[in-house]
């Protein structure tokens, strides 16, 4: 393999995608937000009233789901069967259900395979929960991100209210705790720090400092 793979994992709302995007831009790598894929599947399940507990229904639904990333000057768009769902997947209804959906074995199998394909033969930075442990266990650089839960909740709350979402800080705190719990305790590739991952606690760091932190480690490994 001669491409370089950067895996960024960690808890909900740690700013993984923000750092990943900045690195991708700096190094001219492809950026993939794997959480957006789980969110798109969740949106499809909700819209089509798919019973998550019915394996056959889940399998059939997965066959009908096609996800694309379209690089755009402003932000990468995510398409669900051709429709731009970049904003729809960030709504609370999706956040409330996404961890249940992403704990389903068939869902993980389908998305992990797609993610591995996206990273084949390309320099890539992918963020998620199991990128360094399951998707790319041989990633060249693994970062595990964490931050104070209240700092994370405040960041996410500010982001959602800016977008006009009607949520309270308590709801956001509750959602993050709920997702972290399900994500860390599920049977299928739970959220875990890979043994060879470098920890980045960004509770008190600016975005620029986080970018420099990752670049420093990249320069050591490249």
- Indicate whether 130 belongs to the interface with ligand C5P (CB under 6 A): yes
Please say which residue, 2 or 109, places its beta carbon nearer to ligand C5P. Answer: 109
Please list, residue by residue across 67-96, b when 16 or more beta carbons sit within 10 angstroms of its beta carbon and e when fewer do: bebeeeeeebebebeeeebbebbbbeebbb
Asked whether the beta carbons of 64 and 47 are under 8 A apart, the reply is no
Identify which of residues 21 and 39 has a Cβ nearer to ligand C5P in the complex: 39
Smallest separation, CB 219 to ligand C5P (Å): 26
Q: Which region, judged by CB under 6 A, interacts with ligand C5P, from 47-55, 77-85, 126-134, 148-156?
A: 126-134
Which residue in 30, 35, 146, 201 binds ligand C5P (CB under 6 A)? 35
Which tokens belong to 199?
């920890």
Q: Do β-strands 5-10 and 67-70 pair in parallel, antiparallel, or remain unpaired?
A: unpaired
129 versus 142: smaller Cβ distance to ligand C5P: 129
**Candidate list 8, 12, 22, 80; residue touching ligand C5P; CB under 6 A:** 12
Q: Residue 99 Cβ, how far from ligand C5P at the closest point, in Å?
A: 4
Is 98 one of the binding residues for ligand C5P (CB under 6 A)? Answer: yes
Choose one: 58-66, 125-133, 193-201, 212-220; the region binding ligand C5P (CB under 6 A).
Answer: 125-133
Q: 167 to 206, contacts with ligand C5P by CB under 6 A?
A: 179, 183
Residue 93 or 216 with smaller CB distance to ligand C5P:
93
Annotated binding site for ATP: 10-18
Interface with ligand C5P includes 50 (CB under 6 A)?
no
Query: Nearest CA to 180 among 135, 129, 126?
Result: 129
Estimate to the nearest angstrom the gap between the alpha carbon of 133 and the chain centroid: 14
Segment near ligand C5P (CB under 6 A); pick from 51-59, 96-104, 161-169, 194-202: 96-104
Q: How far, in Å, CA of 183 to CA of 190, rounded?
A: 6
Q: Give the residue, chosen from 38, 44, 45, 144, that forms a contact with ligand C5P under the rule CB under 6 A.
A: 38
Confirm if 137 and 43 have CB atoms less than 8 A apart.
no
The residues of the shown chain that bind ligand C5P, judged by CB under 6 A, are 12, 34-35, 38-39, 98-99, 102, 128-131, 179, 183
């Amino acid at each position: 393999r001669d491409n370089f793979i950067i895996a960024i994992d960690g808890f909900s709302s740690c700013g993984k995608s923000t750092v990943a995007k900045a690195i991708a831009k700096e190094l001219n790598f492809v950026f993939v937000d794997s959480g957006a894929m789980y969110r798109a599947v969740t949106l499809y399940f909700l819209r089509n009233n798919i019973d998550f507990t019915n394996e056959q229904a889940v399998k059939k639904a997965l066959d009908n789901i096609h996800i694309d990333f379209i690089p755009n000057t402003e932000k990468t768009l995510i398409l669900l069967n051709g429709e731009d769902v970049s904003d729809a997947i960030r709504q609370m209804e999706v956040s409330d259900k996404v961890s249940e959906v992403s704990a389903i074995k068939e869902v993980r199998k389908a998305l992990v395979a797609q993610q591995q394909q996206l990273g084949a033969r390309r320099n890539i930075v992918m963020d998620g929960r199991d990128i360094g442990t399951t998707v790319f266990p041989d990633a060249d650089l693994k970062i595990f991100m964490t931050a104070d839960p209240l700092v994370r909740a405040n960041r996410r709350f500010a982001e959602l209210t800016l977008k006009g979402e009607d949520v309270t800080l308590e709801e956001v705190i509750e959602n993050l705790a709920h997702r972290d719990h399900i994500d860390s305790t599920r049977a299928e590739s739970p959220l875990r720090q890979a043994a060879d991952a470098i920890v980045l606690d960004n509770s008190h760091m600016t975005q620029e400092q986080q970018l420099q932190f990752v670049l420093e480690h990249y320069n050591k490994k490249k």
